Every structure is written in C-alpha cells, then in structure tokens.
Amino acid sequence: MSTETQTRRERSASTRRPWSRDRVETLILTWLRWIIIALILIVTLFPFYYMLILSVRPISSLLQNPGALWISATEFSIDTYTSVLQSPSDGGQGFLIFMRNSALVALGTVFVTLLLAIPGSYAISRLQFFGRNKISALFLAVYLFPSILLAIPLFVFFTRIGLRGELLGLLLVYVAQVVPVSIYMLRNYFETIPTSLEEAAAIDGASRFAIMRRISLPLAMPAIISNALYIFMIAWNEFLFALLFLVESRENWTVSLGLSQLAGSIEIPTTVLMAGSVILTLPIIIIFFAAERLLTEGLTAGAEKG
C-alpha cells in the first residue's frame, strides 16, 4: 500500500507542477541550441550561397537588382564559368590551367611533406636523444615565425638559383613551411600508440622499419590522412609566396593568384569574379566533407598527451 500511495503522490505532484524548473531549463536550452545552430549555419552558408547566386547571373540582371537572393530560370547562365575556365587565347581567364598548377603544387607538397614528416615525427616519439623533449616546441616555433619576414631572403635566394617563376620553387617553400607543424601533429598521434605493440613485434624479430610500416603507420592512418588534407588546403589557398615567385610567369599561376588578378581588374565583371571564387572554394569544401570524420579524428588525436 505504501508503494501505491507513493506512486499516487508522485503523479499528483507532476500534475500540480507541469512546469518544473528542470523542465523549463531543459526546454529553453533545447530551443537555444537549435536557434544557435541555425544562426551559425546562416552566417556560414549565406556568403557562399550569395557568391554562387552571383556567379550564375548575367551582369545586366545583377546591375538591375543586386540584392536578389534567388534567380529565375531565364536568368540562370553558366557563361561566367565558361569565361573563367577558357584559356586566354580563347578569350577566357585560364583558370583551368591555374587549377592544374595548384593541384600539382598542392599534391606535391602533400607527398614531400609526409615523406619527411612521418619518419621525423616517429623518431621524435620513439627514439631517445638529447633535447627530445624540447624539439617539438622548436618545430612549432619555426611554424609560428611570420612568413613575411622570410619573403625577401627567399626571393633573393630562389632568384639566384634560377627557381623564381617555377612551380618547383613554390613547392619547396610550401614544404619548408608545413613540415614543422606536420611533425608536431603526427608526433602527438604516434605517442598515443601503445609501445607494447611495437615491443611485441621487436621480440618476434621485426626491424624498426618493419615495425613502423606494419604496425605504427596503419594505426596512425587517420592522423596521416587528416594531416594530408590540412597540408593540401594550405598549399591550395596560399597567396603570398605564389604572388612573390610566380607573378611574372602567368602560365605557372595558381588559382589564388589568378583570383587576385580578377579582383584587381576593373574590366572583369563581378559575376566572373564570383565564378572564380566558387572554383577556388568548391574543391576544398568537397574534400573537407568527404573526409570530415578522418579530419576530426586526426586533429583531436594526441590531445591527452604530447
């Protein structure tokens, strides 16, 4: 009887107080969460949406109604993308060539950087040597060094060795810029891999190289892939050194450099500039969403250690 009486009291209490403090706070926080998420999505996606709308509108329609947030089927046009992608000899802006150059530099930077950063970060996380505990901070300090201070020395150096205006020179500069932070990031991940696995393989007679190739690298693959995406985005979007080394060689321009030339020309319609901006941004967005999970795992790995 006591249990039934207690149950009845609880039911009557819930009936008398339908809006308890806990319920009100939960309801408010739930609505606030969705409101904040909606505001963040609007602030994040609206600029890209408006840029996309401008890129498919004729310039005459844009001049008549620049604030329109949608377009009709009669206004829709891809002539701006055709103009941006065509070669200069055909009256276009040559962005197809610029995209090829950017892809070559970005992929080359990813390959060379990982080739140097993987063994370097593994050595720092596993081998014992003098200054081991301070070398990671030194690598990060090199990355934080302002790039603008290196611009003039690098310009003079690459001019003297004949690499100014060449994609190879730009690739070497990018590699030098991103190797330190890549080593720092990968080192933190390698330290989360249990050493007992490597010790068991060493007891079975595996060499250090075999242990790294068969055990450490497969386990560190999320961090390696996320690091590769991070390097690719840096190399794809970088502008300062591209302007410094390639401005005199239009055939070797990257996408970011080509877009800056569109923005600085009064003869280029705004719609063409927006089309170039979409072309610059879209590959990064596609790659990011395709590998979002690996990117998140890799960037947060090693947060408890290191």
On whether the CB atoms of residues 255 and 95 are closer than 8 A, the answer is: yes
Domains and CATH numbers, the chain: 2-83 (no CATH), 88-300 (1.10.3720.10)
Residue 47 tokens read as 């600029």
pTM: 0.77
- The letter for the amino acid at 183 is I
- The length of the chain in residues reads 306
pLDDT score recorded for residue 264:
65
Which element (helix H / strand E) includes 244? helix 240-246
Q: How far apart (Å, rounded) are the C-alpha atoms in residues 130 and 135?
A: 9
For the beta carbon of residue 129, count every other beta carbon within 10 angstroms: 8
Q: What is the pLDDT along the chain (306 residues), one digit of tens a residue?
A: 455 555 555 555 555 555 667 777 788 888 888 899 899 988 888 888 888 888 888 888 777 777 777 887 777 888 888 888 888 777 778 888 999 999 999 999 999 999 999 988 888 888 777 766 677 677 777 767 777 788 888 888 888 888 888 899 899 999 988 888 888 888 888 888 888 888 888 888 878 888 888 888 888 888 888 889 889 988 998 888 888 888 888 888 999 888 888 776 666 777 888 888 888 888 888 887 777 666 666 555 544 444
Decide: helix, strand or coil at residue 89.
helix
pLDDT computed for residue 174 by the predictor:
92
